Structure 1
Amino acid sequence: MSAGELRQLLNKLSPTMALIVELAYETAMRRSEILKLTTQCLHLDERIADVIDGKNGTRSVPLTMRATELLKEAQRLALANKAHRGRLFIVTPHAVSQAVRLARNKAGLDCSVRLHQLRHTRITNVAKKGFNNAQIMIVSGHRDTRSVARYSHLNAKDVLHLID
């Protein structure tokens, strides 16, 4: 997904859904991982979020500066709303997918634009920066390099800056 498509999508979402979608891009976290986040999972001074009981177990996710800002806002809203058990987001996975689908249609974006595509986009962007497979696996939470290869969509131009 391009940066322009992401902006268009975010502009058509409610503030809470936009926060979730932008977090998906910034962290490469799965929808289920984002929705399980609690205030106790966040170590924002260290720029780390703990994913508890994710698809591949428990892991620590390194956070971009923007992801840290987004999570501070989510934490503020959760505390203000006295969220149940400190959960950051009180929405269902289906509601997130439905909101993305509706926003995509309102924005006139291609039907291939989906929330999970942001995970591919972030992993590809991290790979383009020159991260090695071990580093990408920390960002993505993948357990093997075959998964990393499926998610990082690189071509020869993407690695030119690394060979000189």
Structure 2
Amino acid sequence: MGTLQTPASGVRLADASKVFLGTISVANTRRGYAVVLDRLVRDFGADGNVALLDPDRVAGWFTFVWGGAATTTFNVRLASLRSACGYWRDQGWLTGDPLVRLRARPAPPDTSKALSRQRVADILGLVAPPRERVLWHMLYESSARAEEVLMLDVPDLDAANRCAVVTRKGGARDVIAWQTGTARLLPRLLAGRRTGPVFLTDRRAKPSVALVDVDPTTGRARLSYRRAAELFETHTTGLDDGPYTLHQLRHSRLTHAAEDGASTPILMKLSGHTSVRSLAKYARISDEGFVKWQAENDPAARRRPDRR
């Protein structure tokens, strides 16, 4: 704090940003917050006074930079900036609210659709490289978010117990678990590797890539979400109603687990949600599951041969 100017003369924007980011211990979260703060420092000037951030100017700037982004991106960037401003106010470096003219956008309805069990089986049975097959199996069986799984490093894996520790949204550390499909394929993907990211690119990493995202054995970088999503679309384009999204694997697993009678605590553990309300949209019974339940519980239906 000794390098900061006193609140009376104003704290430099670059210093305020650096101090705030230093309070965030989770590397992934810190990188996300840095996206908006680095841009703020660049556009408003490193020597800008935090206390003089003008609401009209900030609103215009933010809308210009992220107004055309997806709703989720817009809201994430705004939440990051709002957290920083709240911290600066707590320190006495900022008195007003430079974000007063900005509002989070309403989230669009979730149009992703749970896939049938047969369609999931079709996807997991596609001819694809080991990396893709392991990723798809792990995403479905664990119902984890793609971003969480792609950030896994080999030391995070507990192959013997078929589980791993991931960083959830918000920075919480949590355990995910997979099943036989992933367990059978994983050794082939790792090929004896004990370090580096689990899922790697096909080519060697560029010099600009952070060392934490590079496998020291092969020199290849961590597979990005964007590339993983593109590959999934490419492989599922030929299927009926394809292509599909990686998120649909997660959605489908939670729906199927709900149909199989999984309790709410189990569903929350599978999904990583901390509120039942957030979980509700994923735990809805599919049309396929509903029709099957009706048929199996129809008192007027003819008795099956195995019933007495």
TM-score interval (norm. to shorter): 0.7 to 0.9
- CA 33–73 in structure 1, closer or farther in 2 if over 3 Å, else same: farther
> Offset at 1:87?
1.1
Q: What residue identity is the alignment partner of 2:185?
A: L
Q: 1:21 aligns with which of 111, 133, 136?
A: 136
Counterpart contact for 1:78–1:88, Cα < 8 Å: no
Aligned counterparts of 2:285 and 2:118: Cα–Cα separation in 1: 20
Indicate the residue corresponding to 1:114 in structure 2: 245
> Offset at 1:9?
3.3
Indicate the residue corresponding to 1:63 in structure 2: 178
Q: 2:262 aligns with which of 131, 140, 149?
A: 131
Indicate the residue corresponding to 2:118 in structure 1: 4
Aligned counterparts of 1:127 and 1:108: Cα–Cα separation in 2: 25
Counterpart contact for 2:130–2:188, Cα < 8 Å: no
- CA 72–138 in structure 1, closer or farther in 2 if over 3 Å, else same: farther
TM-score by length of structure 1 reads: 0.79
Counterpart contact for 2:268–2:276, Cα < 8 Å: yes
SS in 2 for 1:152: coil
Aligned counterparts of 1:22 and 1:120: Cα–Cα separation in 2: 13
Q: 1:102 aligns with which of 205, 215, 234?
A: 234
> Offset at 1:47?
2.6
- CA 7–130 in structure 1, closer or farther in 2 if over 3 Å, else same: closer
- CA 66–13 in structure 1, closer or farther in 2 if over 3 Å, else same: closer
Instruction: Report the number of matched residues.
Output: 155
Which of these two proteins has the greater Rg computed from alpha carbons?
2
Indicate the residue corresponding to 2:147 in structure 1: 32
> Offset at 1:15?
2.8
**Share of identical aligned residues, percent?**
24
Q: What residue identity is the alignment partner of 1:100?
A: F
Larger relative contact order (Cα-Cα within 8 Å, sequence gap ≥ 6): 1
Aligned counterparts of 2:282 and 2:272: Cα–Cα separation in 1: 12
> Offset at 1:133?
0.9
Q: Provide Cα deviations, 1:91-132, integer angstroms capped at 9, x if missing partner.
A: 211111111111122x23314621101111101111122111
Q: What residue identity is the alignment partner of 2:245?
A: R
- Where structure 2 has 5 or more consecutive residues not aligned to the other structure, the ranges are 1-114, 201-222, 297-308
> Offset at 1:35?
0.8
User: Deviating runs (4+, > 6 A) in structure 1?
Assistant: 158-161
Aligned counterparts of 1:16 and 1:136: Cα–Cα separation in 2: 27
Q: What residue identity is the alignment partner of 1:126?
A: A
SS in 2 for 1:5: helix
- CA 138–32 in structure 1, closer or farther in 2 if over 3 Å, else same: same
- CA 159–144 in structure 1, closer or farther in 2 if over 3 Å, else same: farther
